[in-house]
């Protein structure tokens, strides 16, 4: 259990955050310059915050009020900075074993072997960081941080230094490692896909303040304010389970409905069904409306919120569903809260994220 | 058969012209830089009884003194300069820029100014020298003074290079090392120093070379006495009073020594960088 | 409007001529033949020769005469390495002889001044040096000229002379030399160090003594009298510089600066 309240000013920038993480992975998501890295550094103890109280599993890491600041080396935090900061003068083994000096030779070797196997770098173990790819470096950094069995793992933009093609599989690797070691984690990112894939809870950090803290579905379907909405993008996010796969299309059970969607999943997978509101079309609930869309869901309008030139229509289809329509459509359809509508969208518009 | 257009031909002429100009400039610079060195060696080999002079006590005394004093100076520069470079690289405080400039000052100051300064500070009428002198400690005109003069003029070369090395490696490495159980000192010794090692070595070599060539501050503060304060550069200057033979030989020894050290360092550094 | 420019030039030109006429009126600028004339002189001659320039050539603009002051050996080495000069004034005969041997000096050397050694001590005189015997006391810091330069040679000669005098004792020279902490190539540096009180005593030419130090005379019978020689580099001195130095006026200037005259 991490409990953090941090206030810190650096020049014009003021950070003022308070959040907790009961376990699992907390993703702090926000645009660059929001104070994400500062937050991590304050927890890691490599930055002295102006005023803070941070506790980890009941241990006080920092309490400026009582003048307590535990040295970094005693905090039991695993810190993976954005550029990984691998020790260039050491091999993969040397890096992974850096924090294990307290162990005996044999125990140390065993632990290094264990971690190297965990991240799958057995072949690279004698290489120096220079000779590794971005993804390999990231895994070394992860193994090095996990080797000391930290009480919490702090990952700063772990995928930003990796090429896009390699990123997806790396995200899966990291998800697997985190699941296997069951280490509580705080991960900061500006990327929504990473947040959705890895986060059990999300904290949206904008301009030094936490704007919203909650489950990914809560935050993406019901952003707390305009700025959060503008940053995360409004989306329908519903939890479901893959039932069958046919012709490359997955049938996903979401509540009472079955949604057709593209995506590389296997039957039985729990998934998040993501749908951008501009991809959702609304029509009257009459039979025989000509459309090529695979998915046709009856829904009830809950709320209509102006959003720039558009209107955001929040509906209930057994799960929260959002659509963006023009003022003209609103008038044509004569929509108001409580109106029944038919929401339609293509299978290809659905984005599945495996959980 | 191909016909080249006028434009192509013009480009080609232009290119040839540029290459020729660059070649001429390089040649002039090269001759200018190398000729004095070659001239000294050539004269020394042709016009002097090289080995007789090299084995004369004046020359061996000066060489021994130079090697001993520059070694001590180098140790002092590294021991005191490394923490200074590290602190300057890692911290910002009011007056940082001022202090930084002050550290660099001996590089641009005429060495004689450095020597005068040392005399005014540590000479027996100096700010610190006078109380020391009352205690019976006098450093001016001793081998200690030679080491002090060399350390004074050489340390900025080391500190600059070391500081750049620490700055380039960044503090994130040390942050990580600390989360992995190292104390600040542990992170400094196990991570910061080894990572900055090429810069530290480069700085040390430059500082040593500067100390070896040091003349102005030494003659000012330590005076010139064979075997005690007369290092190779001072011996060259003094022996000019007797003719050019001994100075030529000593200069040749100095050139060969400096050149070998610089070259060896370069090759070593290249290998170190390849393995990193 | 070119006529305006012409006018400006005319006015400027007239002013220049008036200024030039003023120059002509200066009584002692009589060294026209000294243009581009370089004198290589031992550094102990610095003040005296500068006074000669001022006295003899004051009002001349730009300076007609240039000096190169350095140790006599350094000057000789420079000449042998091809430095160009018109007159060489050396603090001893040897350097001039060597220069003549190597062929870079063709004129016949003439003695034009004499100099003697003195002991100097800082005004504070913390070491309490009252007479020459005190120089042999333990733990002093003495600075002398190196034995390769004339002043150093004379210094050692003086110490030898004193050592054979029973009033000093046979070990006198050795004891004094044991106190030497630095050997300078130039007498001026010895004076500077004693002035700064960095040394307890120095042995220098009488001509180099400044107000900032206290002088202890060396008796003539123990002293070595340095003879200063001058010679024209190319055999003849077309400029008349040597003649002036030997003239009554020149000798008086030298005497004012601590030298002993040679014309009496």
> In this predicted complex, what is the ipTM?
0.77
pLDDT in tens, C12-36: 555 555 444 444 333 344 545 455 6
Mutation target vs C (from B241, B242, B244; most C CBs, 10 A cutoff): B241
Contact in structure between C13 and C48 (CB atoms under 8 Å): no
Please state, in angstroms and rounded to a whole number, the distance separating the CA atoms of residues A342 and A280.
Answer: 10
Is B1 exposed, middle or buried (CB count within 10 Å of its CB: 0-12, 13-18, 19+)? exposed
Is C102 exposed, middle or buried (CB count within 10 Å of its CB: 0-12, 13-18, 19+)? exposed
**Roughly how many angstroms between the first and final C-alpha of chain B, as a whole number?**
53
Contact in structure between B259 and B41 (CB atoms under 8 Å): no
**Candidate from A45, A73, A87 with C-beta closest to B181:** A73
**How many CB atoms sit inside 10 A of residue B25's CB?**
10
Q: Is residue C63 pLDDT above 60, yes or no?
A: no
Residue length of chain C: 264
Closest residue in C to B241 (Cα–Cα): C73
B32: closest CA of chain C, how far (Å): 19
pLDDT value of position C1: 46
Mutation target vs C (from B223, B243, B248; most C CBs, 10 A cutoff): B223
Please state, in angstroms and rounded to a whole number, the distance separating the CA atoms of residues A80 and C215.
Answer: 76
Q: Is residue C77 pLDDT above 60, yes or no?
A: yes
pLDDT value of position A234: 67
Cβ of A128 within 8 Å of Cβ of B275? The answer is yes
pLDDT in tens, A226-250: 778 778 776 788 888 998 888 888 8
Please state, in angstroms and rounded to a whole number, the distance separating the CA atoms of residues C231 and C242.
Answer: 8
Q: Which residues contact C78 (CB under 8 A, 6 or more apart)?
A: C40, C68, C70
Residue length of chain A: 355
Query: Over chain C, what is the mean pLDDT?
Result: 83
Instruction: Single out the residue of A228, A222, A328, A224 nearest to residue A277, CA to CA.
Output: A222
Return left, alpha or beta for B11; rule: phi > 0 is left, psi -120 to 50 is alpha, else beta. Answer: alpha
Please state, in angstroms and rounded to a whole number, the distance separating the CA atoms of residues A294 and A260.
Answer: 7
Q: Which residues contact B214 (CB under 8 A, 6 or more apart)?
A: B111, B149, B150, B153, B154, B231, B233
Cβ of C73 within 8 Å of Cβ of B141? The answer is no
pLDDT value of position A303: 87
**Kind and range of the H or E element at A136?**
helix A134-147
Give the predicted TM-score (pTM) of the model.
0.75
Average of pLDDT values for C98-108?
89
Range of lowest pLDDT (B77-81, B177-181, C82-86, C116-120):
C82-86
pLDDT in tens, C187-204: 888 998 999 888 999 999
pLDDT value of position C21: 45
- How far does Cα A225 stand from its chain's mean position? 19
**How many CB atoms sit inside 10 A of residue B223's CB?**
28
Q: Which residues of chain B lie closer than 8 angstroms to C143, CB-CB?
A: 141, 223
In order of A236, A294, A302, the CA distances from A343 in angstroms are 12, 11, 13
Mind spelling out the 3-state secondary structure of chain C?
A: CHHHHHHHHHHHHHHHHHHHHHHHHCCCCCCHHHCCEEEEEEHHHHHHHHHHHHHHHCCCCCCCEEEEEECHHHHHHHHHCCCCCCEEEECCHHHHHHHHHCCCCCCCCEEEEEEEEEEEEECCCCCCCCCHHHHHCCCCCEEEECCCCHHHHHHHHHHHHHHCCCCCCCCHHHHHHHCEEEEECCHHHHHHHHHCCCCCEEEEEHHHCCCCEEEEECCCCCCCEEEEEEEECCCCCCCCHHHHHHCHHHHHHHHHCCCECCCC
Q: Which residues of chain A lie closer than 8 angstroms to B195, CB-CB?
A: 87-89
Q: Which residues of chain C lie closer than 8 angstroms to B241, CB-CB?
A: 71, 73-74, 77, 146, 148-149, 185
Between CA A242 and CA A245, with CA A244 as vertex, the angle to 5 degrees is 105
Chains A and C touch (3+ CB pairs under 8 A): no
Please provide the DSSP assignment of A227-277 as one string.
HHHHHH---EEEEEEEEEEETTEEEEEETTEEEEEESS--TT-EEEEEE-G
Cβ of B119 within 8 Å of Cβ of C198? The answer is yes
Q: Tens-digit pLDDT profile for chain B (276 aa)?
A: 556 677 777 777 778 888 899 999 999 999 999 999 999 999 888 888 888 888 888 889 999 999 999 999 999 999 999 999 999 999 989 999 999 999 999 999 999 899 999 999 998 888 998 899 888 888 988 999 999 999 999 999 999 999 999 999 888 999 999 999 999 999 999 999 999 998 999 999 999 999 999 999 999 899 889 889 999 999 998 888 777 888 999 999 999 999 999 899 888 888 776 655
pLDDT value of position A312: 85
**Candidate from B170, B181, B183 with C-beta closest to A99:** B181
pLDDT in tens, C200-237: 999 999 888 888 899 999 998 999 888 899 999 888 77
Q: Hey, which residues does C231 pair with through a beta bridge?
A: C88
**How many CB atoms sit inside 10 A of residue A33's CB?**
12
Please state, in angstroms and rounded to a whole number, the distance separating the CA atoms of residues B201 and A268.
Answer: 61
Mutation target vs A (from B170, B179, B200; most A CBs, 10 A cutoff): B179
Q: Is residue C66 pLDDT above 90, yes or no?
A: no
Cβ of A144 within 8 Å of Cβ of B195? The answer is no
Q: Which residues contact C182 (CB under 8 A, 6 or more apart)?
A: B141, B222, B223, B224, B225, B229, C143, C193, C199
**Roughly how many angstroms between the first and final C-alpha of chain C, as a whole number?**
69
pLDDT value of position C16: 53
Sign, Cα dihedral of C98, C103, C108, C110: negative
* Segments of chain A scoring below 50 in pLDDT: none
- How far does Cα B252 stand from its chain's mean position? 18
Mutation target vs A (from B176, B187, B195, B197; most A CBs, 10 A cutoff): B176
pLDDT value of position C27: 36
Contact in structure between B54 and B253 (CB atoms under 8 Å): yes
Instruction: Single out the residue of A266, A283, A259 nearest to residue A347, CA to CA.
Output: A259
Between strands A270-275 and A281-283, the pairing is unpaired
Cβ of B223 within 8 Å of Cβ of C74? The answer is no
pLDDT value of position A107: 92
pLDDT value of position C28: 43
Between strands A25-29 and A185-189, the pairing is parallel
B86: closest CA of chain A, how far (Å): 17
Mutation target vs B (from C198, C201, C202; most B CBs, 10 A cutoff): C198
Return left, alpha or beta for B3; rule: phi > 0 is left, psi -120 to 50 is alpha, else beta. Answer: beta
Please state, in angstroms and rounded to a whole number, the distance separating the CA atoms of residues A239 and B183.
Answer: 46
Whether B138 and chain C come into contact, CB under 8 Å, resolves to: yes
Q: Which residues of chain B lie closer than 8 angstroms to A71, CB-CB?
A: 178, 183
**Candidate from B125, B141, B242 with C-beta closest to C197:** B125
Whether C81 and chain B come into contact, CB under 8 Å, resolves to: yes
pLDDT value of position C33: 47
Q: What does residue B197 show for φ and ψ, rounded to 5 degrees?
A: -50, -45
Please state, in angstroms and rounded to a whole number, the distance separating the CA atoms of residues C249 and A238.
Answer: 115
Whether B207 and chain A come into contact, CB under 8 Å, resolves to: no
> Subunits with at least 3 CB pairs below 8 A relative to chain C?
B
Strand ordering across the sheet containing A270-275: A257-262, A249-254, A236-246, A270-275, A350-354
Window 118-177 of B, Cβ < 8 Å to A: 170-173, 175-177
> Subunits with at least 3 CB pairs below 8 A relative to chain B?
A, C
Strand ordering across the sheet containing A59-63: A68-69, A59-63, A51-56, A2-10, A13-21, A209-214, A201-206, A25-29, A185-189, A152-156, A77-80
Please provide the DSSP assignment of chain B as one string.
-----HHHHHHHHHHHHHHHHHHHHHHHHHHHHHHHHHHHHHHHHHHS-HHHHHTSHHHHHHHHHHHHHHHHHHHHHHHHHHHHHHHHHH---TTHHHHHHHHHHHHHS-HHHHHHHHHHHHSTTSTTHHHHHHTT---TTSHHHHHHHHHHHHHHHHHHHHHHHHHHH-SHHHHHHHHTT--HHHHIIIIIHHHHHHHHHHHHHHHHHHHHH--HHHHHHT---TTTT--HHHHHHHHGGG-SHHHHHHHHHHHHHHHHHHHHHHHHHHHHHHH-
pLDDT value of position C133: 92
- DSSP helix/strand/coil, A354: strand
Please state, in angstroms and rounded to a whole number, the distance separating the CA atoms of residues B173 and B189.
Answer: 12
pLDDT value of position C24: 39
**Candidate from C146, C181, C182 with C-beta closest to B241:** C146
Return left, alpha or beta for A291; rule: phi > 0 is left, psi -120 to 50 is alpha, else beta. Answer: beta
Q: What does residue B214 show for φ and ψ, rounded to 5 degrees?
A: -60, 130
């Amino acid at each position: 259990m991490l409990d953090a309240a941090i206030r810190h000013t650096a020049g014009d920038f003021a950070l003022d955050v308070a959040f907790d993480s009961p376990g699992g992975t907390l993703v702090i998501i926000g645009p660059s310059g929001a104070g994400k890295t500062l937050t991590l550094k304050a927890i890691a103890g490599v930055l002295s915050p102006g005023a803070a109280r941070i506790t980890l599993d009941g241990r006080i890491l920092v309490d400026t009020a009582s003048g307590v600041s535990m040295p970094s080396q005693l905090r039991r935090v695993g810190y993976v900075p954005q550029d990984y900061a691998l020790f260039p003068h050491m091999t993969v083994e040397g890096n992974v074993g850096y924090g294990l000096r307290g162990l005996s030779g044999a125990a140390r070797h065993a632990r290094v072997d264990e971690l190297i196997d965990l991240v799958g770098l057995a072949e690279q173990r004698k290489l120096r960081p220079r000779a590794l790819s971005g993804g390999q470096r990231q895994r070394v950094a992860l193994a090095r941080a996990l080797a000391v069995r930290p009480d919490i793992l702090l990952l700063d933009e772990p995928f930003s230094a990796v090429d896009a093609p390699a990123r997806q599989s790396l995200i899966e690797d990291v998800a697997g490692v985190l699941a296997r070691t069951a280490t509580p984690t705080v991960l900061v990112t500006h990327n929504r896909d990473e947040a959705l894939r890895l986060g059990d809870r999300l904290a949206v950090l904008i301009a030094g303040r936490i704007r919203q803290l909650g489950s990914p579905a809560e935050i993406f379907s019901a952003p707390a304010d305009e700025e959060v909405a503008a940053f995360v993008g409004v989306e329908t996010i519903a939890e479901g389970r893959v039932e069958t796969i046919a012709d490359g299309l997955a049938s996903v059970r979401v509540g009472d409905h079955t949604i057709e969607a593209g995506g590389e999943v296997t039957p039985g997978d729990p998934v998040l069904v993501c749908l951008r509101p501009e991809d959702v079309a609304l029509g009257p609930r009459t039979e025989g409306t000509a459309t090529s869309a695979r998915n046709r869901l009856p829904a009830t309008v809950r709320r209509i919120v102006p959003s720039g030139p558009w209107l955001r229509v929040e509906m209930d289809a057994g799960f929260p569903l959002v659509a963006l329509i023009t003022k003209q459509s609103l008038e044509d359809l004569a929509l108001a809260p409580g109106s029944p509508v038919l929401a339609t969208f293509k299978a290809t518009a659905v984005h599945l994220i495996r959980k | 058969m191909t016909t080249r257009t006028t434009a192509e031909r013009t480009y080609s002429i232009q290119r040839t012209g540029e290459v020729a100009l660059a070649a001429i400039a390089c040649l002039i610079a090269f001759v200018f830089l190398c000729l004095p060195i070659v001239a000294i060696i050539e004269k020394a080999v042709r016009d002097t009884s090289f080995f007789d002079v090299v084995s004369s006590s004046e020359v061996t005394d000066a060489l021994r003194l130079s090697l001993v004093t520059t070694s001590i100076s180098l140790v002092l520069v590294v021991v005191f300069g490394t923490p200074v470079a590290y602190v300057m690289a890692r911290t910002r405080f009011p007056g940082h820029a001022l202090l930084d400039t002050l550290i660099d000052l001996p590089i641009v100051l005429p060495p004689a100014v450095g020597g005068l300064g040392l005399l005014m500070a540590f000479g027996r009428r100096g700010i610190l020298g006078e109380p020391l002198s009352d205690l019976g400690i006098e450093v001016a005109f001793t081998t200690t003074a030679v080491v002090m003069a060399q350390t004074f003029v050489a340390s900025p070369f080391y500190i600059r290079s070391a500081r750049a090395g620490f700055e380039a490696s960044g503090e994130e490495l040390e942050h990580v090392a600390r989360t992995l159980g190292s104390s600040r000192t542990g992170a400094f010794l196990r991570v910061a120093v080894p990572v900055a090692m090429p810069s530290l070595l480069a700085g040390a070599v430059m500082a040593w070379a500067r100390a070896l060539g040091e003349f102005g501050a030494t003659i000012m503060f330590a005076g010139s006495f064979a075997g005690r304060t007369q290092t190779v550069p001072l011996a060259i200057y003094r022996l000019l009073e007797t003719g050019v033979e001994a100075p030529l030989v000593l200069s040749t020894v100095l050139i060969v020594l400096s050149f070998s050290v610089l070259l060896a360092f370069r090759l070593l550094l290249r290998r170190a960088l390849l393995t990193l | 409007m070119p006529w305006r420019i012409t006018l400006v030039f005319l006015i400027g030109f007239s002013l220049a001529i008036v200024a030039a006429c003023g120059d002509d009126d200066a009584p002692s600028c009589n060294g026209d033949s000294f243009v581009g004339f370089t004198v290589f002189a031992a550094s102990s001659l610095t003040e005296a020769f500068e006074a000669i320039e001022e006295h003899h050539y004051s009002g001349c603009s730009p300076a007609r005469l240039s000096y190169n002051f350095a140790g006599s050996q350094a000057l000789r080495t420079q000449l042998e390495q091809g430095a160009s000069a018109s007159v060489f004034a050396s603090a001893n005969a040897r350097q001039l002889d060597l220069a003549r041997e190597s062929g870079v000096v063709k004129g016949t050397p003439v003695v034009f001044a004499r100099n003697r050694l003195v002991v100097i001590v800082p005004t504070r005189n913390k070491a309490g040096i009252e007479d020459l015997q005190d120089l042999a006391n333990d733990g002093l810091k003495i600075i002398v000229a190196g034995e390769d330069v004339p002043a150093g040679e004379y210094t050692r000669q003086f110490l030898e002379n004193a050592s054979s005098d029973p009033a000093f004792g046979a070990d006198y020279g050795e004891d004094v030399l044991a106190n030497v902490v630095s050997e300078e190539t130039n007498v001026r540096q010895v004076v500077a160090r004693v002035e700064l009180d960095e040394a307890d005593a120095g042995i220098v030419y009488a001509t180099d003594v400044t107000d900032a130090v206290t002088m202890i005379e060396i008796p003539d019978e123990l002293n070595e009298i340095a003879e200063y020689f001058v010679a024209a580099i190319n055999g003849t001195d077309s400029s008349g510089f040597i003649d002036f130095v030997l003239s009554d006026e020149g000798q008086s200037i030298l005497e004012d600066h601590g030298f002993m005259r040679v014309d009496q």
